[in-house]
Amino acid sequence: MTKTILITGSTDGIGLLTAKKLHQAGHRVLLHGRNAEKLTSVQQQMGGDVEGFVADLSSLDGTHQMAKAVLSKCARIDVLINNAGIFKTANPTLPSGQDIRFVVNTLAPYVLTRALLPVIPADGRILNLSSAAQAPVDTAAMAGGVAMDDMSAYAQSKLAITIWSQELAAELPDGPVVVAVNPGSLLASKMVKEGFGVEGHDLDIGADILIRLALDEEFASAPGRYWDNDAGMFNQPHSAAQNGNHRAAVMNTIQDITAGLEAWPGLRGLNTW
């Protein structure tokens, strides 16, 4: 059965390879990219019949607009893959004072997911890109105004998305399925090459597990779990994700940061924790 699948950050790396494979398999793939020219180039590479959305996910306003555009074109999204992420950049602090890693890796996918929930069916799936790199979240840093080194910000942002994946799954016991996934460590993405200076492992490792999680029946019931592709199985995330107080602090901070978004019609039901 043909699925409609939205993949953020799908103009390079794992996201692009996943999009190409799903498109070749006959699915309706919705691309996302930050750069309009690059997005157009990818659309042409894939035959010109693939829809795309331009948005800078370091801006929650930009994320709003993307969600609005998607909702205007799609009555149903079977799979949402929150793949876009950032590790290292020359200017990690946004004008708001927030670290770009928290905004792109944690907050934007949260906002986008909440906005699109009305068109994701109960048998749909939400895949959130986590990482083997996870660390307890400094909620003051997530809120902004605390300078962080690259690895700390990245690892904390990835635990934060893992935590809100757990919480969203608990809120949606009847579906859609929500899974946080480490697609594999040090895969040959642009982020890995620029951040670590290594070529990395075969990108197919990451793309193939995303496709399995998105489509295979074996994953039709895995709410709130964390897939560790390094181990090839569901695993426990960092122990801080099992701490109720820490989870609550993270979710309260996310709510506080996004509270002003409630008035936007597309984000109805945003703050329900």
Burial class (CB in 10 A: 0-12, 13-18, 19+), 260: exposed
What strand order describes the sheet that includes 233-235? 51-54, 28-33, 4-7, 79-82, 125-129, 177-182, 225-228, 233-235
Burial class (CB in 10 A: 0-12, 13-18, 19+), 173: exposed
Reading the block at residue 262, the tokens are 């409630």
Is 226 catalytic? The answer is no
d(CA 260, CA 68): 17
Q: Rounding to the nearest 10 degrees, give the CA dihedral for residues 47, 52, 57, 63.
A: -170
Among the listed residues 154, 219, 226, 227, the single catalytic one is 154
Which amino acids are annotated catalytic? 154
